[in-house]
Structure 1
Amino acid sequence: MSENSIPSFPAKTGNSLRLVMQSSAFVVLWLSEALSLVGDRLVMVALITLVYDRTGSSGAVGTLMVFKAIPALLLGSIAGVFVDHWNRKWIMVAANLFQGMLVFWLPVAPGLAGVFVIYLVMSTINQFFVPARAAAIPDLVPPDALMTANSLFAMSIVFAMAIGPGIGTWITEQYGLNAAFYVDSATFLIPAVAVMFLSIPFHSRTKIRFDLLKNLKEGLAFSLTQPVVLLSLVTITVGFYIVGTISVAGVVITRDVLHVATSKFGLIVSGLGGGMLLGALLSNFSKRWFTSMQCSLTGAILMGLAVMFLPFSSNLVMACTITALIGMGMMIVQINGQVLLQTIAPAMRGRLMGISQTLTGTASFLASALTGFLLEKISIPFVLGMVGVAALIVLSITAFRFGYLSSNRETSK
């Protein structure tokens, strides 16, 4: 198989969901990682509780989130280079094994510094795992079923967001904080063993010399010169920035705009999650009528408009409805953008996914930092209005630059 070829699959007929389910390797990867995603949300509850119990400081909890963001900012693009040269199956196996062992040691880590160091290492390892998993999916399902495969993973993320924290809270209350870490350790080790026995194609890259700096430059140059890639990365980054803004501004809206208890912020988050689930379902059906690029742009524009109207919500139901639109747009952007990055250049999947990791990590980090700062200085309608207008301007400039608002320029290679 040539470096730029797309994997061939036996001829199969039926709808896309049936095609996906006919791939036993994909089903095992999907279900095992769904378990791991639940574990990710579970451990966040336990980890935040552990840090707060030891310090009594919300600042320490905020520092923990910074340690999560740093690897994405610094290593996302670099990790993608390795993903394009190493066996993706064994990257996933090793990443799950190491993270499982590290989680096991979190509750007995010496001091707060030990907890932060372990979590930093886990976050670093995850920068290799995420692009490896995303880059492996097209090798496991036929091209016609790729949108459905990504939609299933997206729904798993929403499912994990919905039940993971609740499971973490229940385990902690019933069996103690340490038990939550041990359960999460198992949610890493089980997928590691499951993936170990899968047959995931590895396309040898021995003919291409491994040169980290050169390979990284190639990925960046490709991203900047290919309109489909550039616009995909722009829409995904805009989407993550808006969601990052809502994660900070939502509780302020709950208290200062809606004038209800801050505990109701959980309902706004639920609205976001419900919209994400709807967006994952819509993405799978919309491919019949629209290109992935059209869907991705539409989803990002929807998010930009919705975030501008959110601070003008007159009641909690209206606020939840608007955040649901934001969540729906986010998932449409994420799924369609990822499909485009997976298919445009198979030889660069890892690098493109790594660049996406860096951009989304940067967007989330900046959104959280800037929103918190700005809300101390100016009104929330003005802050969210600026975010929405800026998003629409960036999207419009990029789209008009490459003619995506007036014609279908999407290609597959």
Structure 2
Amino acid sequence: MYRIPGISLLFLLGIGISNIGDWIYLIAYNLIILNKTGDPLAVAALYMLKPVAVLVTNGWAGSMVDRMNKKKLMIVLDSFRGLLLMVLPIFTSLAGIYFTVLLINMASAIFYPASLAYITKLIPEGDRHRFNALRSLMDSGAFLIGPALAGLLLMTGPPLIAVYLNGITFIFSAVITLLLPDLENKQTIPQREKRIGFSELKADWKLVRYFSTKRKFVFRIYMIFSSVIVMTAAIDSLEAAFATQELLLSDFWYGVLVSVAGGGIIVGAIINTLLADWMKPLGLIGAGSVSLGAGYLVYAFSSDFLFAGIGFFILSFSLAFADTGFTSFIQKEVPVELLGRISSIYGLAESLLILFFTGAFGLFGQVLSVRSIVVTGSVILFILSLVLFIQTFKSPIGKNVRAKRTASS
């Protein structure tokens, strides 16, 4: 059985700490802004800053990531986020708070492709699936630990204490990254390639388009999977309204429902980790996505807490498998020197769709019943997951492997 090397474990620890920190400051500022304005829309604007940050950065972030030392970039980004959180309490106006949070989210948007490229270089191909499964477990742990820790801090002190602690977690994550090996040198990233101007950005977009036309199967899998994620985000935007207005759940039982989802992610991530040697990325993407769509259908047609909880558990359990399979697939099929640009530019399209469909679902939710919107979204999601499942069986990658085995025999 594969045992986690100390360096990989160290990297996982850094990621886990920063993920927990993300939840702490977000929950703290939910309360700060709500107490300041009394306006739920002002709180909702805080969540909209994340996709906005992706739109602002992803057009050029990948070009920077692929031309820079990933380790140094991650250290700078973690330190930058930590320092911004330290100064965030200074701002008392909503404009100052939103602008600073936008900068934090922009740094996070750049951090993702940088860490993805670094992981691909750090972890041998045969070990990446298990590592990604462990990272999924770490992320799901943060999903439960972060809000719980934030709640504990908010019970024992003012929200700003939680924000300062969050800043410290990012600084600590930067220190951990400092201990990781430097996988690049001056020969790996020539000085002339570090310059990024309009001509370089234009060339990078052409390069991504060229890759998309030459690797059509990878492009299709990426886009269909992204469409699935877009629909989950749009449906989730109505989650609180659906639980309280359609299922008539109290705030307490809605909190329990969210905890059930966190439990599903953790159970899925644990099983995924234990069975990592037996599962292939494309199989995980296809089966995980169909199961995810089925979970949303159970949730959408539920009439009480029990069936909604079953649906939540199934969809969150399945998401752990689909996410891990997708990450492993991209790391294998996209050249590491293009990984930053591909993930950033494709992610830009995904964020645009998330903003559009989230806004559309919210708008339709004002004139139609919330259940009808959730059911419609879940049906669309399930259809997309079936298309994705079928596509995984049409893989030219698998056909090439089978052809080579036949020839060798």
Bin of the TM-score, shorter chain as denominator length: 0.7 to 0.9
Match of 1:385 in 2: 375
Change (3 A) 1:27 1:243: same
Per-residue deviation, residues 241-286 of structure 1 (Å, max 9, x unmatched): 2332342332233233333324322222222222222332343455
1: distance between equivalents of 2:41 and 2:116? 33
Per-residue deviation, residues 102-133 of structure 1 (Å, max 9, x unmatched): 00011111422111111111111112111111
Per-residue deviation, residues 194-236 of structure 1 (Å, max 9, x unmatched): 2123213126132985622211321243235424422332343
Q: Please say if 1:184 is aligned against 2:166.
A: yes
Match of 1:348 in 2: 338
Match of 1:338 in 2: 327
Match of 1:131 in 2: 113
Whether the 8 Å contact between 2:286 and 2:388 is mirrored in structure 1 is no
Q: Please say if 1:370 is aligned against 2:354.
A: no
Match of 1:44 in 2: 26
Of 218, 222, 230, which aligns to 1:233?
A: 222
Q: Which amino acid aligns with 1:138?
A: T
Summarize the alignment of residues 393-412 of structure 1 with structure 2, pairs less than 5 Å apart. Answer: 393-396=383-386, 404-405=392-393, 409-410=397-398
Identity %: 20
Q: TM-score, normalised by structure 1?
A: 0.87
Match of 1:312 in 2: 301
Whether the 8 Å contact between 1:79 and 1:354 is mirrored in structure 2 is yes
Q: Which amino acid aligns with 2:131?
A: A
1: distance between equivalents of 2:394 and 2:119? 31
Large movers: runs of 4+ above 6 Å:
none
Q: Please say if 1:82 is aligned against 2:64.
A: yes
Gaps of 5+ in 1: 1-14
Q: TM-score, normalised by structure 2?
A: 0.87
Summarize the alignment of residues 225-264 of structure 1 with structure 2, pairs less than 5 Å apart. Answer: 225-264=214-253
Whether the 8 Å contact between 2:225 and 2:388 is mirrored in structure 1 is no
Q: Which amino acid aligns with 1:309?
A: V
Summarize the alignment of residues 8-407 of structure 1 with structure 2, pairs less than 5 Å apart. Answer: 15-16=1-2, 18=3, 21-22=4-5, 24-202=6-184, 204-206=188-190, 209=193, 211-284=200-273, 288-344=277-333, 345-396=335-386, 404-405=392-393
Measured after TM superposition, the shift of residue 290 of structure 1 is: 4.5
Whether the 8 Å contact between 2:285 and 2:326 is mirrored in structure 1 is yes
Change (3 A) 1:45 1:404: closer
Per-residue deviation, residues 22-62 of structure 1 (Å, max 9, x unmatched): 2x222211102211111110111111122222222112112
Give the length in aligned residue pairs.
392
Q: Which amino acid aligns with 1:129?
A: F
Change (3 A) 1:310 1:44: same
Change (3 A) 1:299 1:397: closer
1: distance between equivalents of 2:175 and 2:300? 47
Measured after TM superposition, the shift of residue 135 of structure 1 is: 1.2
Match of 2:407 in 1: none
Gaps of 5+ in 2: 402-409
Structure 1, 152-161 or 236-245: larger mean CA deviation: 236-245
Higher helix share: 2
Whether the 8 Å contact between 1:42 and 1:180 is mirrored in structure 2 is yes
Measured after TM superposition, the shift of residue 392 of structure 1 is: 4.0
Structure 1, 314-323 or 185-194: larger mean CA deviation: 314-323
Q: Secondary structure at the match of 1:41?
A: helix
Whether the 8 Å contact between 2:134 and 2:273 is mirrored in structure 1 is no
2: distance between equivalents of 1:39 and 1:398? 34
Measured after TM superposition, the shift of residue 296 of structure 1 is: 0.5
Q: Secondary structure at the match of 1:259?
A: coil
Per-residue deviation, residues 286-311 of structure 1 (Å, max 9, x unmatched): 55555312220222222223323323
Per-residue deviation, residues 326-378 of structure 1 (Å, max 9, x unmatched): 11222222111111111212221112221353244334433432222222222
